[in-house]
Amino acid sequence: MAIETVPGALSPVIAIALVGGLGVGSQWLAWRLRMPAIVLMLLAGIIIGPVLGVFDPARDIGPLMAPIIAIAVAIILFEGGLTLNFHQLRDAAVGVRRLVFIGAPLGWLLSALTLHFGAGLTWSSSWVFGGILIVTGPTVIAPLLRTARLSKRPAKLLQWEAIVNDPLGAMAAVLAFEVVLVLNRAETVGSAMLDLVVGIGASIAMGLAAGYGLAAAFRRGWVPEYMKVSILFALLLGIFGISDAVLHESGLLAVTVMGIVIANANLPSYEELRQFKEHATILLVSGVFILLAANLDFAALELLTWRAAIFLVLIIFVARPVTVFASLLGSGIPWREQVLIAFTGPRGVVLVAVAGLFAERLLELGFEDAALIGPLAFVLVAATVVLHGFTLKPFARFLGLAGADNPGVLIIGGSPWTTALAEALVKAEVPVLMTDPNFGHLRAARSAGIATYSGDILSEGAEQRLELISYATVLAATDNDAYNTLTATDLAAEFGRENVFQVARTKTDSARHMLPASLGGRPFAHGATYDEMNDHIAAGWTFRTTRLTEEFGLTDWAAKRPASHLVARILPSGEFRMVNDIADMRGIPDTRIIALRPPETDADGSIAPQPPADA
């Protein structure tokens, strides 16, 4: 059967490729410009969609759009569930329970009141749409948290609330819609409630069964390593589809429960599964936001009146703060964290997708005001994405709940040379944290006033106690090459492989000892080994800071200090970067460099007194 094409339309393959390219490109450009990625994705979608008319999802993708968004949201929520490990919750557990059990019902009530009295919707539409407004959008929260680098507890609270309340919002909308059906059709209350309870119970049961069953299969070796991700995906889609067939929108609840079960099953291969899902989620978040923006209908927005502005103000600045403050009252969570959470409530794709679905169903029942639900949902998403995208990081920094403007260095391993390096970094106003499993190795660093942590950096205790958001560079520098390789490889996923460095391994001169590029960190300081660095310090070498200028550039410094080992550079903006040699430098004027310099000697061969710093 031939497929009819509309003149000027893109083929589905080209359309999907365009969406993927623009989505990932927007994320990369946002990273380069240090801007909120969500804002650029929305802007890109609006430009190619309603502004230029290059891409029209209804025309170019057609019936594929709804299932694509549904599956993408299911995978995003499942990946979110994979991040919800109860062991990591601890100090945020009370807040999460309150935001879910108190905040969700209270938010539903306040949202319905706002929709009725602010936006002018009927009570039926207000209760259905109000249930959906419980969600705060994991598709938006995750990129915002990645950019803002919040402190651990408020980040956990926002993350858990968004992921847990997302399926609950869909369930609340289903519940309200069932009530509307009972009041407007011959269906009895008993049968409607029975369908709802059975549907929710079945979705939770399927999520639990799938999660525990998959964890048991992985743990007992019933699934080969190379098939784990494939089977995970197939089961995820199957559970989502079956649960949704039992009760509309219950599939989101099933996959979220499944993800939480797997996250807490303590699987050896969990980290590989989570990393793969994170990569998939980045692609999906990019795609659904481009689709959302490109599908915008300016004509639908013309239905909105001045009451839409009142609705936005009340939802963002009244309903959300009141919900959070009432939920966290007496929780012991500091007021600064409560304020940050109260004024951070971005909405995302789930809101628009579910709102559009129920708007159509309400219109079929004769509620004409339901035509406003879709436009109201979109303007709320756009307003909160832009607002929180540009204000979350500075607002969190104002409250003292974000990482420093100039992230520091995490040094793993206490020794004479790492202590000397840490002292030089502190003098250069670069924050430093030194860790070592051996308490005695940190004695000199503590005496020098350097921040330390005694324990394994990969332990659960370190994850709970350390605010790693204040550090952007990792240096693995213990006397154990294997441990350095392990920590550098593990932390590369969190800090970025380009920001993880490792002291050179002792045995790398033969094929039997060489490791693949996927293991370990990047070299620095001319590839010096741990013993070589300590020997240099014992021989009187020192870490010195030098400022490069137009008059005294990198070439001049290299000619004057040919025996020195270049270690790091500090840009005028305060950005810090470890370097291996001059090839890593770009000769930026006014850059400061840190180098390990040999001692200068007098004519009689004695070591000359060292000046405090270079000019």
CB 238 within 8 A of CB 60: no
Return the closest-CA partner of residue 346 out of 300, 395, 306, 298: 395
Q: Which is higher by pLDDT, 126 or 494?
A: 126
pLDDT digits (tens, 9 = 90+) for 450-483: 989 988 888 877 776 777 777 888 999 998 888 8
Q: Which is higher by pLDDT, 101 or 404?
A: 101
CA geometry: angle 242, 248, 254, nearest 5 deg: 50
| Amino acid symbol at 557 | W
Q: Does the structure show a pLDDT above 90 at 527?
A: no
- CB atoms under 10 Å from CB of 221, counted, come to 8
Measured CA to CA in angstroms, residue 466 lies from 145, 432, 436, 457 at distances of 17, 13, 13, 9
- Strands 432-436, 451-454: pairing kind: parallel
Name residue 570's beta-bridge partners.
576, 592
Cα–Cα distance, 13 to 341 (Å, whole number): 41
Give one word for 553, left, alpha or beta, with left for phi > 0 and alpha for psi -120 to 50.
beta
Report CA 384 to chain centroid distance, whole Å: 17
| Amino acid symbol at 610 | Q
pLDDT band, very low/low/confident/very high, at 81 (cuts 50, 70, 90): confident
Q: What average pLDDT does the segment 562-573 reach? A: 81
Q: What average pLDDT does the segment 429-443 reach? A: 89
Q: Give the N- to C-terminal CA distance of the chain in Å, as an integer.
A: 78
- pLDDT, residue 65, reads 80
Cα–Cα distance, 362 to 370 (Å, whole number): 6
Return the closest-CA partner of residue 319 out of 520, 110, 525, 174: 110
pLDDT band, very low/low/confident/very high, at 418 (cuts 50, 70, 90): very high
Q: Is 13 exposed, middle or buried (0-12, 13-18, 19+ CB in 10 A)?
A: exposed
Q: Does the structure show a pLDDT above 70 at 587?
A: no
- pLDDT, residue 313, reads 94
H, E, C per residue of 94-125: HHHHHHHHCHHHHHHHHHHHHHHHHHCCCHHH
Return the closest-CA partner of residue 379 out of 315, 312, 316, 286: 312
Return the closest-CA partner of residue 414 out of 467, 466, 457, 359: 457
- Mean pLDDT in the chain? 81
Cα–Cα distance, 420 to 230 (Å, whole number): 49
pLDDT band, very low/low/confident/very high, at 2 (cuts 50, 70, 90): very low
Q: What average pLDDT does the segment 27-41 reach? A: 79
Cα–Cα distance, 194 to 144 (Å, whole number): 39
- pLDDT, residue 602, reads 43
- CB atoms under 10 Å from CB of 32, counted, come to 8
Q: Does the structure show a pLDDT above 80 at 402?
A: no
Measured CA to CA in angstroms, residue 54 lies from 7, 271, 291, 296, 539 at distances of 12, 40, 13, 13, 67
Q: What average pLDDT does the segment 293-316 reach? A: 87
Percentage above 70 pLDDT, the chain: 86
- pLDDT, residue 567, reads 85
- pLDDT, residue 192, reads 66
pLDDT band, very low/low/confident/very high, at 374 (cuts 50, 70, 90): confident
CA geometry: angle 231, 519, 284, nearest 5 deg: 40
Residues 6+ apart with CB under 8 A from 120: 307, 369
pLDDT digits (tens, 9 = 90+) for 194-244: 777 777 788 889 999 999 999 898 888 888 888 888 888 899 999 988 888
Q: Does the structure show a pLDDT above 90 at 312?
A: yes
Q: Where are the alpha helices (DSSP H) in 450-542?
A: 460-465, 481-495, 530-538
CB 271 within 8 A of CB 3: no
- pLDDT, residue 133, reads 87
pLDDT digits (tens, 9 = 90+) for 497-512: 888 999 888 765 555 5
Measured CA to CA in angstroms, residue 246 lies from 167, 239, 242, 254 at distances of 15, 11, 6, 11
Q: Does the structure show a pLDDT above 80 at 89?
A: no
Of the candidate ranges 74-88, 234-248, 346-360, 598-612, the one whose mean pLDDT is the lowest: 598-612
- pLDDT, residue 316, reads 93
| Amino acid symbol at 6 | V
Q: Does the structure show a pLDDT above 60 at 610?
A: no
Q: Which is higher by pLDDT, 425 or 581?
A: 425
Cα–Cα distance, 602 to 598 (Å, whole number): 13
DSSP state of 304: -
Return the closest-CA partner of residue 569 out of 536, 533, 545: 545
Q: Does the structure show a pLDDT above 50 at 319?
A: yes
pLDDT band, very low/low/confident/very high, at 86 (cuts 50, 70, 90): confident
pLDDT band, very low/low/confident/very high, at 291 (cuts 50, 70, 90): confident
DSSP state of 368: G
Cα–Cα distance, 173 to 151 (Å, whole number): 33
How are the residues of the chain apportioned to helix, strand and coil, as percentages rounded to the nearest 5?
A: 65, 10, 30
- Find the helix or strand (DSSP H, E) in which 276 lies: helix 270-294
Please tell me the pTM assigned to this model: 0.71
- Find the helix or strand (DSSP H, E) in which 206 lies: helix 189-219
Residues 6+ apart with CB under 8 A from 436: 412, 413, 414, 442, 452, 454, 478
CA max distance for the chain: 106
- pLDDT, residue 607, reads 46
